[in-house]
Amino acid sequence: MSTALKQNETLPALQAIKEKQRATWASGDYAVVGTTLQIVGEQLCETINLRPGARVLDVAAGNGNATLAAARRFCQVTSTDYVETLLNKGRDRAAAEHLDITFEVADVEALPFEDAAFDVVLSTYGVMFTPDQAKAASEMLRVCRSGGQIGLANWTPEGFIGQVFKTIGKHLPPPAGVKSPALWGTEAALRELFGSAAVSIDLTPRLFNFRYLSPDHFMEVFQTYYGPIHKAFLALGDAGGALDSDLRALLDRFNVATDGTLIVPSEYAEVVIRKA
């Protein structure tokens, strides 16, 4: 089969997967979970050493953690996501803080911006979920100026959230041909995606602590509001008991609290890429 025919078959398949993903992230209310991750956006902006006035693009921004962190540092921020309901949550947060931010519905695989339009491109737990990883990386590189930076926070395969997705995959196998999002948390995959266009790729392992009243509380919140888990239980229906048991076993394995509450350190890769 020719390369052109393979591409013609692959593109519709990836588009269908993307639409399914869009519906997943639009389900529940990710912002309930997303706001608890705010410290990650703040840390990333400090690591990059954002300067006031910098032109910053946040891709797959969700409800705006990195967006708000950059705007608090007086940058010129554009926040994008392909789920408008999530962007609206970011708009509400920006309005409450009187932050001047541009919000625009956009797909990271087809960004509507000119080449080299931004000094810094950010994504916290967002771009890693795109189905066409190479295209997403290419687009971030395209809109970042020469000498600019790309800053990412990506869950690692070995960390708690990486294991959550692995557990979900045991009960609901992912679409064939789609690479694991957790690859974005590995140096090898990042070098494959960005290496030839980067002066440097610096990866720092970090931990984010999920803190909840109890394992039951965590399950209630994530099953209700976190799209991938919410949708998984809906899809499994009466068979969801096995997934529930496996996720609770995972919580038991990672929980470091000894007082009946839940504190789960989840490893992620903080990544800073400097474009050539």
User: Is residue 5 pLDDT above 50, yes or no?
Assistant: no
> CB of 44 within 8 A of CB of 153?
yes
Contact partners, residue 146, CB within 8 Å, separation at least 6: 116, 275, 276
For the chain, what percent of residues have pLDDT higher than 70?
96
Q: Residue ranges of the domains in the chain? A: 7-210+264-275
Buried b (16+ CB within 10 A) or exposed e, 59-80: bbbbbbbbbbbbbebebbbbbb
Buried b (16+ CB within 10 A) or exposed e, 137-151: bebbbbbbeeebbbb
Model pLDDT, residue 2: 43
Rounded mean pLDDT of the chain?
A: 94
Model pLDDT, residue 26: 87
User: Is residue 1 pLDDT above 90, yes or no?
Assistant: no
Please state the separation of Cα 20 from the chain's center in Å: 16
pLDDT band at 21; cut points 50, 70, 90: confident
pLDDT band at 107; cut points 50, 70, 90: very high
Could you name the CATH architecture of 7-210+264-275? 3-Layer(aba) Sandwich (3.40)
